[in-house]
Chains A and B, each alone.
Chain A
Amino acid sequence: MSKGKTLIEVEGLKKYFNVGGGNVLKAVNDISFSIAEGETLGLVGESGCGKSTAGRTILRLYEPTAGSVRFNGVDINQLSPKKMKAMRRDMQMIFQDPYASLNPRFTVTDIIGEALDIHGLAGSHAERKKRVEELLDMVGLNPDHATRYPHEFSGGQRQRIGIARALAVNPKFIICDEPISALDVSIQAQVVNLLEDLQDRLGLTYLFIAHDLSMVKHISDRVAVMYLGRIVEMADSEELYANPMHPYTKTLLSAIPIPDPEVEANKKRILLEDTASGPIGKEGAASGGLFDLDNSELVEVSKGHFVSMPKKG
């Protein structure tokens, strides 16, 4: 990594949910990674692999079961509520569903202005209005639309509003939780370009969560592949796609349809038997799945390329 110093360090993060009957859902099961300043780490996996839960636990929207998240060296899970509130200015989130992530009773001004109100960042009404218009302009929306309600906008426009909201507090780190999966193809590129552009201008650091591997490859410097709550492979994005090592990564890559009939006609798929019951079980029990992940550990096979391998001995 040629980027700057480490901004986010996640270590041994676990998030278990009680699902009743003494069973727990091990949504996030011991993941560790770090992200450098200005870097984008992609987190990919299929539904239910725990990638969204991981994002929310890192932001402490869910209290972690175990593990730590350090932001600039500070363990955010040890912070008092007051300090945590201040910390939230540095860490923000962009959500998946542009229809569910904006309060339908708020105008755009109120949606974007809310963060300013919470942190007392706008002294006067006029200042608040000016800042909101500035943010709208920054994400390519017409500031004249500030008094409209979210349902009047298209999906892509709503996602821009969500981005403006996250930017309102001048964060350093943004978790993008599937920000484009609900959007039309022709709109996805707009939003991705906007995110890349904002990263360059504002020096942002991203954790980009998605299931669309082609988009993740495009936007990320490094990619981590999650399966049943764990990271099975992590590498530079070029390296990961050129030289996937874990069988799950290989399956995932071979399954992605490519918009080129020539490539599709000559493609060989690696299929995976769908037998995994999911990471639900007694707290101490093995979590199942195909690859005996309980007895595996991430091993650095080449510089910066980590693969989950069975533990030796």
Chain B
Amino acid sequence: MEPILQVKDLHVSFQVKGGEVKAVRGMNFEVGKGETVAIVGESGSGKSVTAQTIMRLIPSPPSIIKQGEIIFQGQDLLKKSDKQMESIRGKDIGMIFQDPMTSLNPTIKVGRQITEVLIKHQKMSAGEAKKQAVEMLKLVGIKNAEARFNQYPHEFSGGMRQRVMIAIALACRPSLLIADEPTTALDVTIQAQIMDVMKEMQSRLGTSIILITHDLGVVAGMCDRVIVMYAGEVVETGTKWEIFKNPQHPYTKGLLRSMPRLDQKKGEPLIPIIGTPPDLIKPPLGCPFAARCDQAMKICERIDPSATVFSETHTARCWDLHPMAKEVQSS
């Protein structure tokens, strides 16, 4: 599959009082055309920083992009000028954010917020833009689109606003949509609807999606491939089947074990992951998960493991997967 986005060896840091927080430490992944890739991780794992770096929306200072390449349609986004980025954002890459309450401008009518994008990037006339905007509102499932076009954001509920955000982000038919926790602020019933809208839009427009989330349930329903991040590193990647049915990294396994499931019998205890993620102002020398890992070995504290490959899509970084680990433990 032809990748439309390749992130290569990305390192991003934040300058804070008392040092440098190494938020992303060597991120590598690809997104194929029409594919939905989930980046999963807990707060501070670097998933949102990665998304914002791709969009070049990350404020600098305090952030510093240390090294790496972000190749989008054959060009390195990190080498683009701010001006060039402006014409890529919204046109070739769309983005939706976590909080639909604050990501729309409250003083501008909803319709105009969509037409603005179209007029700017597609050079449409006002009339064409309006027609297209109403079309988009209909597509994302807003009833009475013509009337809603002239309303202000406060007249929309949270779920409706997120639909509008999707309409804005997809108005110019971008080839990539980055959704940063798009349903975290919404209720479950609304979340389900928004996920359906995103899937529907993807199948119509063929957009690739990067979904940033901490919710494994959403991932299972929505994505093709999953990237599991921990402490600024990718610890495991695979198709959703590989990740959910055959996880290899202790962190992925731990996450799945620690979540209660509706279809589980009562009385089964939860198995939590102990401790807290490392402070990335002083990242551990070895595997970042070692301090919380029940499989930890001496080597884990000393050297950060590289990837073991299980299939074309499935890789995991853990010393326990090394052949020597099995030999020693069985002896």
> Do any CB atoms of chain A lie under 8 A from CB atoms of chain B in the complex?
yes
Closest Cβ–Cβ distance, residue B112 to chain A (whole Å): 24
Closest Cβ–Cβ distance, residue A3 to chain B (whole Å): 15
Residues of B within 8 A of A47 (CB): 187
Q: Is A103 an interface residue (CB 8 A)?
A: no
- CA gap between A179 and B305 in the complex, in Å: 36
- CA gap between A39 and B43 in the complex, in Å: 33
Verify A256–B262 contact, CB threshold 8 A. Answer: yes
Q: Is A238 an interface residue (CB 8 A)?
A: yes
Q: Is B152 an interface residue (CB 8 A)?
A: no
Chain A 39-55 per-residue mask, 1 if CB under 8 angstroms from chain B, else 0: 00000001100000000
- CA gap between A211 and B214 in the complex, in Å: 16
- CA gap between A241 and B42 in the complex, in Å: 28
Residue of B nearest to A217 (CB): B262
Q: Is B258 an interface residue (CB 8 A)?
A: yes
Residue of B nearest to A263 (CB): B263
Q: Do A269 and B216 contact each other (CB < 8 Å), given the known contacts A47-B187, A190-B274? A: no
A10-26, CB < 8 A from B: none
- CA gap between A237 and B265 in the complex, in Å: 11
Q: Do A217 and B255 contact each other (CB < 8 Å), given the known contacts A46-B189, A255-B191? A: no
B interface bracket (residues with beta carbon within 8 Å of A): 35 or more
Verify B42–A257 contact, CB threshold 8 A. Answer: no
Verify A214–B192 contact, CB threshold 8 A. Answer: no
**Which of these, B219, B241, B270, contacts A192 with CB under 8 Å?**
B270
Q: Do A215 and B42 contact each other (CB < 8 Å), given the known contacts A258-B220, A260-B220? A: no
Residue of A nearest to B254 (CB): A186
Verify A185–B258 contact, CB threshold 8 A. Answer: yes
Q: Chain B CB within 10 Å — which of A157, A189, A193, A269 has the most?
A: A189
Residue of A nearest to B256 (CB): A259
Chain A 185-229 per-residue mask, 1 if CB under 8 angstroms from chain B, else 0: 111111011000000000000000001011101100000000000
- CA gap between A269 and B195 in the complex, in Å: 12
Verify A258–B219 contact, CB threshold 8 A. Answer: no
Chain B 203-244 per-residue mask, 1 if CB under 8 angstroms from chain A, else 0: 000000000001111111100000000000000000011001
Residues of B within 8 A of A261 (CB): 220-221, 240-241, 244-245
Residues of A within 8 A of B263 (CB): 258, 263
Q: Do A189 and B259 contact each other (CB < 8 Å), given the known contacts A255-B191, A256-B217? A: yes
Q: How many residues of A contact B (CB 8 A)?
A: 43
Chain B 256-274 per-residue mask, 1 if CB under 8 angstroms from chain A, else 0: 1011111110100111111
Q: Is A74 an interface residue (CB 8 A)?
A: no
Residues of A within 8 A of B256 (CB): 259
Residues of A within 8 A of B215 (CB): 185, 257
Closest Cβ–Cβ distance, residue B142 to chain A (whole Å): 11
Q: Is B193 an interface residue (CB 8 A)?
A: yes
- CA gap between A257 and B38 in the complex, in Å: 15
Chain B 133-169 per-residue mask, 1 if CB under 8 angstroms from chain A, else 0: 0000000000000000000000001011000000000
Verify B217–A258 contact, CB threshold 8 A. Answer: yes
Verify A211–B276 contact, CB threshold 8 A. Answer: no
Residues of B within 8 A of A184 (CB): 42-43, 214
Verify A189–B272 contact, CB threshold 8 A. Answer: yes
Residues of B whose CB lies within 8 Å of any CB of A are 42-43, 157, 159-160, 187-193, 195-196, 214-221, 240-241, 244-245, 251, 254-256, 258-264, 266, 269-274, 276-277
Give the top 3 A-B pairs by smallest Cβ distance, nearest first.
A257-B217, A189-B272, A184-B42
Residues of A whose CB lies within 8 Å of any CB of B are 46-47, 154-157, 184-190, 192-193, 211, 213-215, 217-218, 237-238, 241, 251-264, 267, 269, 271-272, 274
A-B contact pairs, 24 of them (CB 8 A): A46-B188, A47-B187, A185-B216, A185-B258, A186-B273, A187-B272, A188-B258, A188-B259, A189-B272, A189-B273, A190-B272, A193-B270, A214-B259, A217-B266, A255-B192, A256-B188, A258-B217, A258-B261, A259-B220, A261-B221, A261-B241, A263-B263, A264-B217, A274-B189
Kindly list 9 other residue pairs between chains A and B, CB separation below 8 angstroms, not including A214-B261, A258-B217, A264-B221: A184-B214, A187-B276, A189-B273, A190-B274, A213-B262, A217-B260, A253-B262, A257-B188, A271-B193
